[in-house]
Amino acid sequence: MTLLTAVDLASDDPERFKLARDVDHLMCLFQYDDCHFQNLKKRAPGASDTDGVLLLCIRRANLDALWARKPGTVHSNRREGAVIELSKQLGLENPYPGRGPYPVKDSFGMGVAAMMLMRSLGTGKNAKTIQYETMRKLRGHYSNFVHTTPDGVGASTTSSEGASSFVSHSETNGYWFKRFMHGCHKRMGDVWIPDSTLTMEELLCVQSLLEEDWRLCGLNDNKRRLKIALTGVSLTSGFAAGLRGEEIPRIELGLIRKHWKEAQECATPHVPLAMAGRFKKHVGENQYFQPLANVTVSGVNI
163: in domain: yes
Query: Phi and psi (nearest 5°) for 171?
Result: -60, -25
Q: Which amino acid is at 32?
A: Y
Kindly write down the DSSP assignment for every residue of 267-284, as one continuous string: SS-EEEEEEEEE-TT--S
Q: Is the pLDDT of residue 4 over 50?
A: no
Q: Is the pLDDT of residue 135 over 80?
A: yes
Do 186 and 287 sit in the same domain of this protein?
Answer: no
Tens of pLDDT, residues 63-83: 999 999 999 899 898 888 788
Q: Is the pLDDT of residue 2 over 60?
A: no
Query: Phi and psi (nearest 5°) for 166?
Result: -145, 160
Largest Cα–Cα separation, the chain: 93
- Mean pLDDT (whole number) for 88-96: 90
Do 22 and 110 sit in the same domain of this protein?
Answer: yes
Q: What is the pLDDT of residue 8?
A: 40
Give the range of the structural domain holding residue 174, as residue numbers without chain letter: 3-192
Do 106 and 156 sit in the same domain of this protein?
Answer: yes
What is the number of domains present in the chain? Answer: 2
- Mean pLDDT (whole number) for 272-299: 86
Q: Taking the model in full, what pTM does it have?
A: 0.65
Do 152 and 211 sit in the same domain of this protein?
Answer: no
Q: What is the pLDDT of residue 256?
A: 92
Do 136 and 65 sit in the same domain of this protein?
Answer: yes
302: in domain: no
Give CA–CA dist 63/68, Å, rounded: 9
- Which one of 138, 160, 192 terminates a domain? 192
300: in domain: no
96: in domain: yes
Q: Is the pLDDT of residue 46 over 50?
A: yes
Neighbouring C-alpha atoms within 13 Å toward the C-beta of 15: 6
Q: How confident is the model at residue 33 (pLDDT cuts 50, 70, 90)?
A: very high
Of all residues in the chain, the percent with pLDDT exceeding 90 is 59
Q: What is the pLDDT of residue 11?
A: 46
Q: How confident is the model at residue 245 (pLDDT cuts 50, 70, 90)?
A: confident
Q: What is the pLDDT of residue 54?
A: 97
Do 157 and 14 sit in the same domain of this protein?
Answer: yes
Tens of pLDDT, residues 171-217: 999 999 999 999 999 999 988 777 777 888 999 999 999 999 999 98
Do 8 and 120 sit in the same domain of this protein?
Answer: yes
Q: Is the pLDDT of residue 143 over 80?
A: yes
Mean pLDDT across the chain:
89
Q: Is the pLDDT of residue 109 over 70?
A: yes
238: in domain: yes
Q: What is the pLDDT of residue 277?
A: 85
